[in-house]
Amino acid sequence: MDKTPAAVVVLCALLAGVAPVAAMDTDGDHGWLLVEFGASSEGELSEHATHVGPTLGIEFEPAADRLEIEFGATRTSSPRAANWDLDLQLQKSFRVSPAVEVEPGLGPSWSHAGDSEARPAAWGAEASIDIIFWRSKRFGWFLEPSCDLSFANGAKTSIALSGGIVFSPR
């Protein structure tokens, strides 16, 4: 059963409240710690396989306006297997408007495949663009397209789209 349409519906529902964000007045201070929770859909380009599942990210800012570090964990599944993907990204935040941030990032990734045809664990590299739409100083939505290159199992390339809520627990 293909779960891709369900993931698209969930992402659209989560992002339905984004339109009013442009009129919001925020000062951009969202705290030094952010938590992201949502859904992810990943497609392996070489194998034409799709995986969907929950994603969680924790982001902190050790150097204000210069560097953000995000640790992300995603558990995806397909009819063949369940996979775990972990990544550590170094990001730079750019404020597009008082309510919108764009954060390009790059860093190492580690994945564990649950199927028996591939090596169970592989290191790789991931590039992403995290787009955050703030609804208030502590709450917003995120959309994150990414590309991952695995250094094992024939150098597999995959693309993913994640989306969900982001909040500052301060």
pLDDT of residue 114: 75
Q: Is 139 in contact with 133 (CB distance < 8 Å)?
A: no
pLDDT of residue 117: 63
Calpha distance 112→156 (Å, rounded): 13
What token pair was written down for 152?
């094992």
Can you list the positions of beta strands (E) in the chain?
33-44, 49-63, 67-77, 82-91, 94-97, 100-113, 121-134, 139-150, 157-167
Which SS3 state, helix, strand or coil, does residue 117 take?
coil
**What pTM did the predictor assign?**
0.78
pLDDT of residue 9: 44
Q: Is 21 in contact with 34 (CB distance < 8 Å)?
A: no
Cα three-residue angle 46-49-50, rounded to 5 degrees: 130
Cα three-residue angle 166-37-60, rounded to 5 degrees: 55
pLDDT of residue 115: 67
Mode of pairing for the β-strands spanning 100-113 and 67-77: unpaired
Residues of the chain with confidence (pLDDT) below 50: 1-2, 4-27
Q: Tell me what percent of the residues of the chain surpass a pLDDT of 90.
A: 53
pLDDT of residue 83: 85
Domain ranges of the chain: 4-15+35-60+72-157
pLDDT of residue 146: 97
pLDDT of residue 59: 95
Residues, the chain, total? 170
pLDDT tens for 37-86 read: 999 999 888 777 788 999 999 999 998 878 999 999 999 887 777 889 99
CA atoms in the 13 A half-sphere facing the CB of 46 = 9
